[in-house]
Structure 1
Amino acid sequence: MTAATGCGGASGVASAPPAKLKLYSYWRSSCSFRVRIALNLKGLEYEYVPVNLLKGEQFSAEFSKLNPIHYVPALADGDFVLADSFAILMYLEEKYPHHHPLLPSDLVKRAINYQAANIVSSSIQPLQNLYVLKFIGEKVGPSEPLSWVQYHIDRGFSALEKVLAGHAGKYATGDEICLADVFLAPQIYAAVKRFNVDMSQYPILSKLHEAYSETPAFQDALPENQPDAPEP
């Protein structure tokens, strides 16, 4: 099977079909969303195993063995289990480099991808996760979590607009979908759909959001399209 041309501009022929993977995911988790996008882009089949964070299933004895810090996603590849979305994405990239590469061969573009991904994964998303918002709501006040999230998203998005200026094309660092896009798409989606962020301040990110909404690999990974999403 010939893989689609990816970020590095390379395509290849798989020597054998990869074994089916197992993804432990929660429909609304942006970290799980990232991995779903990458699996779709790389054309890798996987079994979806829902972990309901609101019901506390991440604290079960079974899931604690998979990820002792109790976050989703976790990915099982046979007997090997890996947690943390960034680690999972790097694992998939190195194991399946010819299935839609996510990293550009150009060193500067690759560095920009790492920088943008890290802004999302280190400076925005951890500050909006379920544990943080629950803590703020309980310790500070029920009206505080939204303003907290909006502040940190705005701070991160302002930085991303500057970082991507001069690099963005149809996608974050050109006209191919790369690692930065895998991180940006879930974060922008959450900003728009969950946290009511005014995107008019962010023309580059708004343009990317439109491109992602037209891309099947992103559409199929959307929270509302997952088997554990609640009925509309």
Structure 2
Amino acid sequence: MITNPQTGTNVHEIADGIYRISTPVELPGGQPFSFNQYLLVDDEPLLFHTGPRAMFPLVREAVASVMAVERLRYVGLSHVEADECGSLNEWLAVAPTAVPLCSQIAAMVSINDLADRPPRALADGEQLALGRHTVQWFDTPHVPHGWDCGLLMDSATGTFFCGDLFTQPGHGEQALTEADILGPSEAFRQPMDYFAHAPQTATILTRLAQLKPRTLACMHGSAWRGDGSVLLRHLAEAVSAAR
């Protein structure tokens, strides 16, 4: 469903109760790209990634096509970056009971100061019940880049909110694909490698593979359905080989 004809912002349900909000953009030089947010609708709804601040009206419009924005309870971010939390305070303003959801490191070094409301800081492995869905937080320091990085897994649907992992170029016209995303994402990564390549990168990716996700909710490009464990192991191998 296209929610804004001018920009092409669109909403698609990629798993039970999980909606991908996507806006196509052009990077400098005219390269097509996309910014995705994921809305998990439940008793206590969660929005993972806000998009850049300038994109707030588009994302709000898209969320409103699915549920009342005032119901939002959590605004999640993998790490502090404009496309992750640029409009965090705008969301806190329109959703009176919403709080930021982030890692303990992110809360300590950034969100406690940046956000207009204290965050819910999750420890590594901590679970959060939203209703029918329960999400679990995993610290992923420096994977792919920030010290404060962390990612979420929804046990009810097997959806892994994988942030910048598997970033793909293009407008992400296909909301959910079973085609190869590792090849395009690795080709995109090579020219401006945004991985920190920390000593524990492969170990963290292998740990995430043990979650056996069935859907990967990528922040840029199409979401993916299939054997996420295999794909994450292949990513660990590719990143290790690149060092």
* Structure that is richer in strand per residue: 2
Greater RCO between the two (CA within 8 Å, min separation 6)?
1
TM-score by length of 2: 0.30
TM-score by length of 1: 0.31
**Larger Rg: 1 or 2?**
1
